[in-house]
Amino acid sequence: MKKLAVLVLTGLACATLLFGCGNKDENVETVAINEVESTPATVAETETETESAVEEDVPPEEGMVRSPLTNEWISGDIADQRPIAVMIPNENAALPHYNISNADILYECNVEGNMTRLMAVFKDWENLDRIGNVRSCRDYYVYWAKEWDAIYCHIGGPFYILDIINDPTTDNITEAVLASDSSQKKGLYANAFTRVSDRKAPHNAYLSGEGVLKAIDALGYSRTYTDNYEGEHFKFASESNPNTLEQYEDALPATKIDLSGAYSITKTYFEYNEEDGLYYRFQGMQKGDPAHVDAATGEQLAFKNILVQYAHYETRDDKGYLAFQCHDDTKDGYYFTNGKGIHVTWKKDSDYGPTKFYDDNGNEIELNTGKTNICILEDGKTFDAE
């Protein structure tokens, strides 16, 4: 097992900056021009590659387009539809989750008490009838939601969220507002949520696609991307030529990624399935079976891409509320896909600017088509890959 560790960096920006606005030389063998001749085999291989690339851009059904979140084919009817980003608690009392396997992107990050909270980003959400459950906001998640121009869905939160929630560019939907600030009603639309009788409060609140639509119209939000949306987020490899990471000599074997060193309570880990090329998600804190299973679909959560993103953090008060530096120039991370992993760095330079990931040669990494789990870790924490 190879231990992955990133040391805490000193001299980082102070708390007020936590939320901005928030090549090696190679020997090249030269070949005379007349030595390079196109043979029938070379031509055939080139034609095959070209045909594969063309076929890859032909949608399986008329009107379908590539999703900017996963690069998978989706209906053209939702091409410009804004995603929703839903805050989901992650503790035994909150399990099981519903419809979380339909999320395209899943974020995980620590909150107070060494627990983690999830944020699920959905592109195709209109027909989902029970999403969650749903819990309160932590302000750093809002900055990640903004990268997708997503409508942020939550139920209240601590007073630390006021600045970002009250920002005119933040479109949020909430069932409750802060008791300490009754004048703060931005995003309030309780009818978007349903309280069920088969779960105990506070883990009994769920969101529905129908409720989101009503809230969007009632609150005057745009259903389609706003002018804040910066377009391309991830860079994807083609399906005919996926990123195997074999081009990196220092790629790590990664058939299991164990994040329990960073997530001490949830003990999240992933196991790679070579048959389908996906990483299956487990949570060691779960009672009984550790497989993270969606109660609505019966499916275990699985991802094509795993991104680990280290971030500077501070503890805000004696209750343990945290702040994470979401905007930064160059911070460490790792990218895992197809049973391997590489060291990367990440940067984010504005509220709506996407977090970009780069290999050690300074090239933006190419993700593979499919879902992505982004795990934000506190600087100085370690995790294992084997």
Give strand pairing partners of 306.
336, 373
- Taking the C-alpha atoms of residue 290 and residue 231, their distance in angstroms, rounded to an integer, is 37
What pLDDT sits at residue 57?
A: 81
Q: Give how far the C-alpha of residue 296 lies from the chain's centroid of Cα atoms, to the nearest Å.
A: 21
Q: Given this model, what pLDDT does residue 226 score?
A: 97
Would you call 171 exposed, middle or buried from its count of C-beta atoms within 10 A (0-12, 13-18, 19+)? Answer: buried
Joined tokens for residue 49? 């590659």
CA of residue 249 relative to chain centroid, distance: 27
pLDDT of residue 37: 35
Q: Give the model's pLDDT for residue 193.
A: 97
Nearest to 140 by CA among 124, 116, 173, 123: 116
Q: Residue 40 burial (CB < 10 Å; 0-12/13-18/19+)?
A: exposed
Of 117, 161, 146, nearest to 226 (Cα)? 146
- CATH code for the structural domain at 1-8+59-386: 3.50.90.10
Please give the pLDDT value at position 55. 61
Residue matched to tokens 């007349």: 34
So what's the pLDDT on residue 180?
61
State the pLDDT at residue 330: 85
Cβ-contact 3, 382 below 8 angstroms: yes
CA dist 139 and 119 (Å) reads 12
| Tens of each residue's pLDDT in the chain, 386 residues | 444 544 333 333 333 333 333 443 433 333 322 333 333 444 454 454 545 555 678 999 999 999 999 999 999 999 999 999 999 999 999 999 999 999 999 999 999 999 999 999 999 999 999 999 999 999 999 999 999 999 999 999 999 999 999 999 999 999 998 766 656 689 999 999 999 999 999 999 999 999 999 999 999 999 999 999 998 899 999 999 999 999 999 999 999 999 999 999 999 999 999 999 999 999 999 888 999 999 999 999 999 999 999 999 999 999 999 999 999 888 999 999 999 999 999 999 999 999 999 999 999 999 999 999 999 999 999 999 99
Name the residue with tokens 């900055």. 143
pLDDT at res. 136 = 96
Say what the pLDDT of residue 27 is: 37
Q: Name residue 31's amino acid.
A: V
Name 52's bridge partners. none
Contact 325, 312 (CB under 8 A): yes
Q: What is the pTM of this model?
A: 0.87
Question: Pairing relation of β-strands 268-273 and 278-283?
Answer: antiparallel
SS3 375: strand
CB 355 within 8 A of CB 248: no
Structural domain boundaries in the chain:
1-8+59-386
Distances (CA, A) of 316 to 141, 159, 354, 375: 16, 12, 26, 21
Helices (H), 162-240: 162-165, 209-219
Give the residue among 93, 112, 89 at the shortest CA–CA distance from 324: 112
